[in-house]
Structure formats: C-alpha cells, structure tokens
Chains A and B, each alone.
Chain A
Amino acid sequence: MNLKLWITVAASCLSTAALAQDSNKLVIEGEALVTETAAPAHMENVDTIYSGWRFRSSETQALETDDFDNPGFVFLDQGVDLFEKVDGSEGKACASCHEDIEDFAGLRTQLPRVQDGKLASMEDLVNECRTERMGAKPWKWSGGQMTAMTGLIGLQSRGMPVNVEIDGEAAPFWEKGKELYYTRVGQLDMACSNCHENNFGVMIRADHLSQGQINGFPTYRLKNAKLNSIHARFKGCMKNIRAEPFKEGGDEFKALELYLASRGQGLSVETPSVRN
C-alpha cells in the first residue's frame, strides 16, 4: 500500500467526516428507497440520518439492489415454506389464519410497539402465534426459523418509511432505550453513541462506521452468511467492547430496539438488507 496515499486519504476523510458516506442511490428492482433524510426532531446531535447501506463498499451495496443476487432471499424462501407448514397441537400453519402474507405490509415500520402494557418486537408476535394459537413451541429469538420468518414479514414493508410510536404508552420504554444508548459499558467503556453518533463516517480499523440503523433487519451478513436479528447485532457490538450483553428478547434490548428504530424514522425498510 502506498503510504503517502494512505495518509492523504485518511486526512481528507477526517476533514470531511460528515460527507464520508457516499451518495449512491439505492434502487431495488426498480423501486427507489430512502437512504438519507432529515433526522427526527428528538435527535439532538444529528442533522441527517443515513441507512447503513450508504457506508458499505460498492460490491456489498450492489448485492442489495437485485433480489436474485441478494443472498438473504434464500432464507426468505425457507420462510415461505415455514409459513405454509402445519406445526403444533392445533394443526395449524401461519397461513391458516393469515391468508395472504402481503397483508403484513406496514407492520415492520411500526415495531416494536406497546401491547398490553409491554413492548413487543416482531419476534414476540411470531412466537405469540406459535404458542397461543398453534400450540407449537416458540422459536429461538435469533434462530434460523425466526429470522427467515421476520425477514419474510419485513419484506412486505420494504420501501415504506420507519414510523414507530414513541409517545404515550411507548414513552417510558423509549426513555429507557435512550438511556442505554448513551451509557458506557464494557472493559472498553464505550456507549453506542461513541461509535454510531460521534464517529459515523469514520473508519475504525477495517470497518466504516455507520449510524447503526436497524431499518434493514434481519440483515444478511457476508461475515456469517446468514440472516442476523437486531438483538444479535446488539449483542455483537456489546461483546466487541467487552461488555456482558443483555439477553436477546429481554427488556433492555427491546427498549434499545425501539429507541434505535425511532432514530431511523423516515428511512425506508430495507429488509432483507446486505451488510458485511
């Protein structure tokens, strides 16, 4: 590697940190998605929000523009099979109650949401159907069956703007998520904000830091060649800073999920996105 060049590049990146994400337009199968928009009013320190897609290499970006190239669709096909498959004591499949998967259009944009006084993520809704209505065993939060299903349901909202409720009953959960976002943890003593708010657009070793948006989840990662849940990503980031992660599906991660979703209000749902 040419040293002088590297330094020049690094220096110019530093001086234009806010512009370091490229300005490509994301068009999937002919439909234009919103990957950049004005930050919602509740975000005090950021003016513009960007999808994580904008921070990836052009090769990785390209994979998301064509459903045939997008490796996440292999798993969504499994989701289609699971949707039709009878399971549990009641002899039902998802399709027994939900005639058309397309009826789920818009659902991804509103989750997580408060139900019966509790915050519910899409995984909770899926498992509620399995245990309460099908008499089937719940799926593991970040297991292959669950991500195939949340991916398939999420796809029905692709292109629609994230629009979670943060007031009223949701407010205390949102506040808790916000607090977690700004709390330093782990031996490296960092908060989500240190990387994703203060340093997005900057390289951290080999990684180009994004805003840590969740509009593309579950996301196919080249790193592990599967669909990854939102909570699994949170867990990974916490482990990287040598922090004991919260439980997947637990109150902390659900609150954090609501807060992060709200930091992406207006971005298009990109499920299933492709990241490295």
Chain B
Amino acid sequence: MKRAFGLAAVAALATSAALAETVAPTNVALVDGVIKTSLTGQPGDAGVGRKVFANRKQGNCLACHTNSDLSEEIFHGEVGPPMDGVADRWSEGELRAIVTNSKQVFEDTIMPAFYIESGYERPLEKFAGKSILSAQQVEDVVAYLMTLKEE
C-alpha cells in the first residue's frame, strides 16, 4: 500500500516540471559553506518564509533566535545569535547553506539541519526519512532572511 502510494507520488513528481528540478537532500551541493542556487529552481517567497520562521511545527527558528521583525510574537529564544541584520552578515548562498545543514557550517552546533533526510538517530516514526522543512520552505525562509537588513 505504502509502496504503491510512493510510486504514484514519484510519477506525479516527474510530470511536474517545476518540482522535477528540486534537489533531493542527498544531492545538495554545499561547498565551502555556500549553496549557490535555489534548491527548487524557483525563488522563495519571503512572506511565506516569515511564517515558516515563526511556526512551531515548521522552522520554529524563533525558539532559538530573537528577531525584531517578528515583535508580534511574544517569546523569542536566545540560544543562537539575533536575526536582526543577518542579511548584512551573510550572502544568500551562505544563508541557504546554514538553513539546509548548519552542521556543515558551524561545528558541533545545536542548530538542527533543516534539509537532510537521514544521518540522525532514533527519529519518531512519523519523521523518519524526512527533512524538517521542504526544499521550497527552505527557499522561502532564505528569501525572508534576505529581507533582514539594518544597513
């Protein structure tokens, strides 16, 4: 049953040109802390990315990062650096790498890798083999982070 469904899903993917360009987590080219091009071949939507950033079931980035742009949300975590002006400090390609797999950018970091689907132990069954965010959600978050400029 599951397998048949999987095949159907693959077939559906193949017929959709836009989705066909999505890079699978294992094929992401993260070189020297940079991922040069969009994971989906499409630009991200900063408005959607802002929601993904705050949503506890999606990015939940706010759990660890303060962000003045989201002042309507009352609780901001302080585990990582503030996000204010983050686009002044990092390029788009670097931000894409940080969100995709922070562990390849910051050694031993607590920050989760948001676009890997293996390499972690004992996942709850419903998350096994999955990435925390989809490729498009990563692009949306990156597009959003690019709006966080102070200069």
A interface residues (Cβ-Cβ under 8 A, vs B): 1, 3, 6-7, 10-11, 13-14, 183-190, 194-195, 198-199, 202-206, 239, 242-244
Contact = CB atoms under 8 A, between A and B. Distances in A.
B76 A203 contact: yes
Interface of B: 56, 60, 62-64, 66, 68, 71, 74-79, 82, 84, 103, 110, 112-113, 119-125, 127-128, 130, 132
Secondary structure call for the B interface: loop
Contacts of A194: 110
Contacts of A203: 75-79
Given A186-B123, A203-B78, A7 B112 contact: no
Top 4 closest pairs, chain A to chain B, by CB: A206-B75, A187-B127, A205-B63, A194-B110
A163 B127 CA distance: 39
A246 to B, nearest CB: 9
Contact of B124 (A189, A199, A205, A244): A244
B113 A189 contact: yes
Contacts of B64: 204-205
25 contacts: A1-B71, A3-B68, A7-B66, A7-B82, A13-B78, A183-B121, A185-B120, A185-B121, A186-B121, A186-B124, A187-B112, A187-B120, A187-B124, A187-B127, A187-B130, A190-B112, A199-B110, A202-B78, A203-B78, A205-B60, A205-B64, A205-B76, A205-B77, A206-B75, A242-B127
A190 B103 CA distance: 12
A87 B60 CA distance: 49
A217 to B, nearest CB: 24
Query: Of B75, B121, B122, which is in contact with the most chain A CB atoms at under 10 Å from its CB?
Result: B122
Nearest to B103: A189
A224 to B, nearest CB: 18
Query: Of B64, B79, B121, which is in contact with the most chain A CB atoms at under 10 Å from its CB?
Result: B79
Nearest to A189: B120
A235 B78 CA distance: 24
B76 A6 contact: yes
Contacts of A199: 79, 110
Contacts of B113: 189
A251 to B, nearest CB: 15
B66 A6 contact: yes
Contacts of A11: 82
B110 A186 contact: no
Contact of A189 (B71, B112, B128): B112
A186 B128 CA distance: 9
B120 A205 contact: no
